[in-house]
């Protein structure tokens, strides 16, 4: 008997099967099943939810597994696995191999994934490892107390295969605590308002480490917050010196977790740095997370030398490096993930 196995883009007739596969697998919570449904619906409408795409593996024309993925924003060539599922490990392996070829076709050079570190996910972990994915780090208690995650990365560049390991993360620069000038204006942290909009956008534009795409994303998130409030999942705080905005931060609850928050952006006016604004903002974020029952703050930054002072800043505040993926944003720019647990879990 001949069995036909193909991997194709999701079609309308596959949606119920994909949701059933995800449901009976026991891998996904009801909230996560809703996210999968939204991403499938957005992909079929051509209005992809957060740019996610969906591929299914068919055995004799019946969908038996799926992978939801996207190109990660603010990177040159990194692709992210959002959700993956199937009834057999061989089908997962076939999906991963197809995704690898699809990524290379699009000039991608890296695929990464975060998987819950739970027993029911073990066969997915094993499939990733057999496909050549390396563990890039672990974050305990990410999804909930006792439920952590493993981070995986697969580099696809031709010249990377068989080469010697690349240098590790550059050391952080030593930190120095700046003294506050006598008579300095008292700093205060307040929720961002529309009156702060121009200063925040100007500050972002004048920060040398941000590129044009960063400017666009900050403006989009700021507009969401100002027009719809935190219901969209984003908070903005402004640090004021008197009435002047000297720094801001954007953060929000991490989807599919019970108490983890992502720090998306923190930026200080280049002309007003070393005045303690960054520390005040970080303290305010951590206090707010605790007030809302959260326990963990995560943030991402670059491993390049220019970001060494930024890494030193986070480390001085007690943030620990939990993930390092080299050549993430570009061939010369890797990703570092920091985490800080605000209370015992």
Per-residue pLDDT tens over the stretch 9-26 = 999 999 999 999 999 999
Residue 22 is predicted with a pLDDT of 95
pTM: 0.74
Residue 303 is predicted with a pLDDT of 96
> 5-158 and 187-341: same fold?
yes
Q: Which fold has domain 5-158?
A: Aminopeptidase (3.40.630)
Q: Which stretch of 142-156, 166-180, 299-313 has the lowest confidence by average pLDDT?
A: 166-180
3 has a pLDDT exceeding 80 = no
Higher pLDDT, 306 or 94: 306
Q: Which stretch of 98-107, 109-118, 193-202, 270-279 has the lowest confidence by average pLDDT?
A: 270-279
Where are the chain's structural domains?
5-158, 187-341
Sign of CA dihedral 319, 320, 323, 327: positive
Q: Does domain 187-341 have CATH number 3.40.630.30?
A: yes
Q: What's the angle, vertex CA 170, arms to CA 166 and CA 176, rounded to 5?
A: 180
140 has a pLDDT exceeding 70 = yes
């Amino acid at each position: 008997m001949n069995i036909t196995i193909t991997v194709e883009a999701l079609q309308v007739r596959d949606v119920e099967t994909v949701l059933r596969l995800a449901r009976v697998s026991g891998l996904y919570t009801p909230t996560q099943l809703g996210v999968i449904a939204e991403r499938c619906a957005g992909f079929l409408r051509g209005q992809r939810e957060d740019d996610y795409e969906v591929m299914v593996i068919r055995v004799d024309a019946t969908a038996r597994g799926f992978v939801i993925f996207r190109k990660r924003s603010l990177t040159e060539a990194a692709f992210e696995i959002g959700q993956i599922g199937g009834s057999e490990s061989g089908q997962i392996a076939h999906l991963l191999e197809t995704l690898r070829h699809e990524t290379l076709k699009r000039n991608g050079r890296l695929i990464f994934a975060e998987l819950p570190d739970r027993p029911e996910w073990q066969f997915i972990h094993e499939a990733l490892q057999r496909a050549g994915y390396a563990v890039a780090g672990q974050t305990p208690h990410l999804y909930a107390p006792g439920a952590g995650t493993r981070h995986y990365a697969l580099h696809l560049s031709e010249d990377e295969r068989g080469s010697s390991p690349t240098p590790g993360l550059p050391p952080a620069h030593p930190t120095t605590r700046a003294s506050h000038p006598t008579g300095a204006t008292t700093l205060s942290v307040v929720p961002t308002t529309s009156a702060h909009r121009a200063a925040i956008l100007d500050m972002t534009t004048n920060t040398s480490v941000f590129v044009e795409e960063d400017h666009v994303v900050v403006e989009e998130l700021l507009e969401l917050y100002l027009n719809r409030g935190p219901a969209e999942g984003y908070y903005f705080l402004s640090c004021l010196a008197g009435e002047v905005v000297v720094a801001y931060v954007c953060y929000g609850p991490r989807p599919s977790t019970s108490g983890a928050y992502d720090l998306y952006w923190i930026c200080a006016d280049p002309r007003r740095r070393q005045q303690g604004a960054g520390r005040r903002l970080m303290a305010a974020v951590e206090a707010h997370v605790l007030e809302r029952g959260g326990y963990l703050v995560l943030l991402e930054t670059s491993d390049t030398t220019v970001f060494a002072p930024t890494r030193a800043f986070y480390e001085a505040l007690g943030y620990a490096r939990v993930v390092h993926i080299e050549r993430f944003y570009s061939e010369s720019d890797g990703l570092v993930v920091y985490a800080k647990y605000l209370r015992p879990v």
